[in-house]
């Protein structure tokens, strides 16, 4: 009997020990994950990885000339970049930071996005006739082309993963919404106002409701120093908000390529909307869902794109002319540091590297 008790006690101790080891391994794994800002440099062949907490450059990816768009696999194992110089979608292994594949595209690419399951990357083709190349990340092949009858500047996957949204130039309508399941067009908005090639839709940000469904789109439009508010369910523009005006002699003289405001983002906690003003050299914040003006932060020259730390503590604005990234403390509404990066930084994203 005493032997059985001893065996039971030993098993109990062993089980407790294994549980402790498992817990320790889990904690260690979580601590090893790193939130990184991926900063492209559109006139360069390097991409910077910036620690979202320390605000220091921790790595540099090389070999993607004239890099434009960036996307991350959901598990953080890969990064994808479009190269305007090579007409490719480049695949980067985040463990080695080497380019492992270069997938040919149908034309000169612009921005990209990735499906929520990570299986497809959608590449906007800016070179006429335009459209969207669909890359299957499981086979690393260019498997389909979605016709848009317009040149595609940006693609976005809505936070709920159900829709692919394209902001385009030169089409009869320049904001297209597709189903990610069927890749069929669901609806279009913003008919062209003139025949110029820079008439169209610029960056777009998305707000979700409490269930995580797409509630509103915040849309930047050619020539608008501000943004439009679109109700996603009714498919109607419900408001148009102009950014603050500053004295002309304080403005950047441009040119702005007809986008005086370029770069817009919703913080991960869905509490604030941030809008970049190239003309003013500032980023402006609005409360969500009320869209009350919260204030502006002076940043570098030509802020062009914005991303956030996962905890919504910091915003990172890429300044395309001063070649740096402004780190903004969101609660304090102030710039805390400016990080020198490559030539013409623009698109940036945030991902968790395992």
Partner 1 sequence: MPNTDPRKRPDIRRRLMTALLLCLPVMVTGQVTGERHDPGIDLPEDDGRARLVAACTACHDLTGLPAYRNYWNRDRWRSMVDSMVENGAPLDEAGRQVVTEYLARHFGTATQASEEQEKRTEEGTNEQQE
Q: Which stretch binds partner 1 (CB under 8 A): 13-21, 221-229, 245-253, 268-276?
A: 245-253
Q: Establish if 300 lies at the interface with partner 1 (CB under 8 A).
A: yes
Work out which of 40, 44, 52, 91 binds partner 1, going by CB under 8 A.
Answer: 44
Residue 138 CB contacts under 8 Å (≥ 6 apart), including other chains: 119
Q: Establish if 66 lies at the interface with partner 1 (CB under 8 A).
A: yes
CB of 177 to partner 1, least distance (A): 26
Q: Establish if 338 lies at the interface with partner 1 (CB under 8 A).
A: yes
Q: Establish if 237 lies at the interface with partner 1 (CB under 8 A).
A: no
Q: Establish if 106 lies at the interface with partner 1 (CB under 8 A).
A: no
CA pair distance 215, 270, nearest whole angstrom: 11
Q: Fill in the per-residue mask, 150 to 189: x = in contact with partner 1 (CB under 8 A), - = not in contact.
A: ----------------------------------------
Contact 11, 17 (CB under 8 A): no
CA pair distance 167, 183, nearest whole angstrom: 16
Contact 261, 276 (CB under 8 A): yes
Contact 152, 166 (CB under 8 A): yes
CB of 24 to partner 1, least distance (A): 41
Q: How far is CA 10 from CA 4, 6, 14, in A?
A: 10, 6, 6
Q: Establish if 6 lies at the interface with partner 1 (CB under 8 A).
A: no
Q: Establish if 42 lies at the interface with partner 1 (CB under 8 A).
A: yes
Q: Closer to partner 1 at the Cβ: 110 or 137?
A: 110
Q: Establish if 223 lies at the interface with partner 1 (CB under 8 A).
A: no
Contact 216, 231 (CB under 8 A): yes
Quickly tell me which residue has 């070649």 as its tokens. Answer: 323
CB of 22 to partner 1, least distance (A): 46
Q: Establish if 301 lies at the interface with partner 1 (CB under 8 A).
A: yes
Q: How far is CA 267 from CA 93, 163, 197, 314, 315, in A?
A: 27, 20, 31, 9, 8
Give one DSSP letter per residue of 294-309, joined into a string: EEEEE-SSSEEEEEE-
Q: Closer to partner 1 at the Cβ: 6 or 196?
A: 196
Footprint of partner 1 (CB under 8 A): 42-45, 65-66, 84-87, 108, 127-128, 196-198, 249-255, 257, 297-301, 322, 334-335, 337-338, 343-344
């Amino acid at each position: 009997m005493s032997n059985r008790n001893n065996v039971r006690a030993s098993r109990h101790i062993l089980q407790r020990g294994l549980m402790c080891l498992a817990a320790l391994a889990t904690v260690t794994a979580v601590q090893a994950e790193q939130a990184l800002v991926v900063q492209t440099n559109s006139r360069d062949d390097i991409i910077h990885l910036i620690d979202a907490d320390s605000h220091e450059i921790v790595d540099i990816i090389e070999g993607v000339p004239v890099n434009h768009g960036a996307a991350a696999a959901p598990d953080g194992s890969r990064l994808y970049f479009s190269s305007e110089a090579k007409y490719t979608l480049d695949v980067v292994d985040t463990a080695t930071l080497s380019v492992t594949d270069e997938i040919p595209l149908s034309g000169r690419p612009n921005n990209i996005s990735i499906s929520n399951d990570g299986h497809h990357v959608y590449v906007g083709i800016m070179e006429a006739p335009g459209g969207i190349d669909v890359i299957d990340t499981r086979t690393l092949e260019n498997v389909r082309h979605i016709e848009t009858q317009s040149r595609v500047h940006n693609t976005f996957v809505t936070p709920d993963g159900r829709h692919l949204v394209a902001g385009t130039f030169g089409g009869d309508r320049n904001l297209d919404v597709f189903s990610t399941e069927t890749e069929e067009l669901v609806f279009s908005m913003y008919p062209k106002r003139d025949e110029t090639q820079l008439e169209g839709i610029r960056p777009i940000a998305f707000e979700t409701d409490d269930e995580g469904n797409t509630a509103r789109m915040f849309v930047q439009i050619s020539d608008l120093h501000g943004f439009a508010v679109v109700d996603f369910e009714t498919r109607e523009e419900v408001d148009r908000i102009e950014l603050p005006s500053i004295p002309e002699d304080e403005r950047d003289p441009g040119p702005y390529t007809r986008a005086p405001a370029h770069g817009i983002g919703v913080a991960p906690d869905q509490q604030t909307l941030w809008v970049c003003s190239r003309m003013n050299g500032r980023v402006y914040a609005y409360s969500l869902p009320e869209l009350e003006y919260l204030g502006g932060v002076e940043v570098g020259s030509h802020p062009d794109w914005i991303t956030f730390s996962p905890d919504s503590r910091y915003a990172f604005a890429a300044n395309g002319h001063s070649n740096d990234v402004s780190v903004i403390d969101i609660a304090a509404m102030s710039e805390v540091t400016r990080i020198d990066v490559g030539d013409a930084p623009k698109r940036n994203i945030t991902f968790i590297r395992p």
